[in-house]
A and B are shown apart, each in its own frame.
Chain A
Amino acid sequence: MTDLSRRDFLKLTRDGFLYLSGALAFGGLLRFLSHETNSARKTEFDLGFVDKYPLGSRASISEIPALLIHTDSGFTALSLTCTHLGCTLKPNETGFACPCHNSSFDAEGKVTHGPAVKPLKALRIEITDEGNLKVFTA
């Protein structure tokens, strides 16, 4: 009886130790793989002298990607990344369309056709003292 329970105890201990070791090793593996080798993404974009974008202009800024619109009410920078799964939108007559899953947005960035739910992000804009236009993606 004591012999048997001793064997059971040892088996339980062995299993427990091995499973825990396995869990630790797996956790270590996940930690190992989750290192980010590339530095954080650029979030600040200098678009140059503000006069480059006169009233009424719509400039496509492909490195963000975004559309810079200059209207009477000022500058807006509309992110052209689809809010569904991140494809880059293509402008069309009514607004923007996503080539991946058929989402579409109107010229203001509101969803006109799913599957996207969220409207396009308006990016923060700053004009520096030197008159340079800066767009922030974060």
Chain B
Amino acid sequence: MRKLIAISSGILLLALSLAWWMNSRQPQPVELMPILTGQPEYCVTCHSDLPEISASHPVETFGCVSCHGGERLALDADLAHSTMRGGANPSDLSVAEISCGGSSCHTGSEADDRDHIQRVMTSVQSTYAGAIANIRYTFGAQTDLTAHQGINAITDERTQTGITALEIFNPTLESNPMIQKFGEECFTCHINAVPREGESYTRQTGCAACHSTEQHQLTTAISYTQCNTCHNRGNYDLRTMTFVERTDHLTNRLEEYYQPIAQFTQCEYTLDCVDCHTRSEVMGDGDLHSNQKDIQYVQCKTCHGTLTELPLTKTLTDPNDIAFRMAFLKPVVDLKLGDTILVTEQGEPLWNTRVLPDGTYEMIGKATKQKFNFRPVMGTACEQKPNEQESHFCHECHAVER
């Protein structure tokens, strides 16, 4: 008996030694106490190698869980990841309202210009309403070109465009096989669609579709290459209802920028898309629209004016002007109170531009930080007719040769 007890004590000691050994092999928990939540997180125990997501979201302030969700205390990968919002991408539109909107982040009233997510939800980039309406009209499923259906059902209670709601587009309810095929083949472009496997352009979904240009990075300096993950990467073939990726070998900015058939001027490919196109064009203005054209309004004349009119300008006198907020997020220019900048006809500030004392203008590329000087049309030898001032008329003379 005494021998048995001695042996079993040895077994107990071994078991406890094993427990100590296993314990010593566990990673030492690394605590992160974000200022914003004040609740400890242990995600960085494993994820210490991730780059800072952006200068505006320092990890010491935001931590991981504010955006990603997940179990902040769990050191078991399965449990820790089980409750993450949107999998690896918390900005997917299905969860963006919670993860990016939060209670006081990128959500809020229209008056404060803080309703980004609500606007994105109604924008044509999310609803895909224009394409759906056009296809259904072309194949006889609807009699006008007004949008009635979108990727998701959505309402706009304070509509300016007359479209109060979109129903969900359901290709299986369509009788025309071409519309059904459209539903099967052509739904990879809207902002919340996952790109098809094997496509040469990859991007995330939701906000990150545009704002995340690299792994775990968010930016407002969105290069044209990010826009290209959807735009200008090929053509839809309406006869077969399939997408044909472009096959020309893209070697430089000029060729990469626009599709071979497009006409454009030099500034259009030396600048990035976001240098001219505004937030409300890209992210929506809060209204439901039937077509991309209904919301894309920036033209050559927005910056260059016409023969008879100078472009619209605004002198910044209010320190709370939204132009300062936007310039602060991507400090490529040093905007000062009293500076005069160009504005669009809807009043959106083109905060990366400035009116110079000699009457010319300068623009700083948001992504390239390049400085461009340009002049108004007024006072030049331009022979354009006063009633033909849209960009495509400008292209007739000023297009780049390829």
A and B touch in the complex (CB under 8 A): yes
Q: Which A residues are closer than 8 A to B by beta carbons?
A: 49, 51-57
B78 within 8 A of A: no
Is there contact, CB below 8 Å, between A54 and B168? yes
Contacting pair B153 A53 (CB below 8 A): yes
- With A54-B167, A55-B167, A56-B170 already in contact, the answer to whether A49 and B153 are too (CB < 8 A) is no
B168 touches A57 (CB 8 A): yes
What residues of B have a CB within 8 angstroms of the CB of A49 in the complex? 155, 157
Count, chain B residues at interface, CB 8 A? 9
Contact B157 A54 (CB under 8 A): no
Give the complex CA separation of A54 and B170 in angstroms: 12
Task: Count A-B contacts at CB 8 Å.
Answer: 22
Tell me if B's interface is mostly helix, strand, loop or mixed. mixed
Kindly list chain B residues whose C-beta atoms are within 8 Å of the C-beta of A54: 153, 165, 167-168
Q: Answer whether residue B146 sits at the interface, using C-beta atoms and an 8 A cutoff.
A: no
Cβ distance A48 to chain B, nearest Cβ, rounded Å? 9
Let me know if B219 is at the binding interface, CB within 8 A: no
**Residues of chain A within 8 A of B165, CB atoms compared:** 51-52, 54
Can you list 22 A-B pairs, Cβ within 8 angstroms, ordered by A? A49-B155, A49-B157, A51-B155, A51-B157, A51-B164, A51-B165, A52-B153, A52-B155, A52-B165, A53-B153, A54-B153, A54-B165, A54-B167, A54-B168, A55-B167, A56-B167, A56-B168, A56-B170, A56-B173, A57-B153, A57-B167, A57-B168
From B153, B165, B167, B170, residue with most partner A Cβ within 10 Å: B153
Closest beta carbon of chain A to B147's beta carbon, Å = 13
Instruction: Give the most central of A49, A51, A53, A55: most B CB within 10 Å.
Output: A51
Of residues 156 through 182 on chain B, the ones whose CB sits less than 8 Å from some CB of chain A are 157, 164-165, 167-168, 170, 173
In the bound complex, CA of A24 to CA of B143 (Å): 80
Give residues of chain B (187-245) contacting chain A, Cβ–Cβ below 8 Å. none
In Å, the complex CA distance between A51 and B170 comes to 17
Q: Which residues of A contact B155 (CB under 8 A)?
A: 49, 51-52
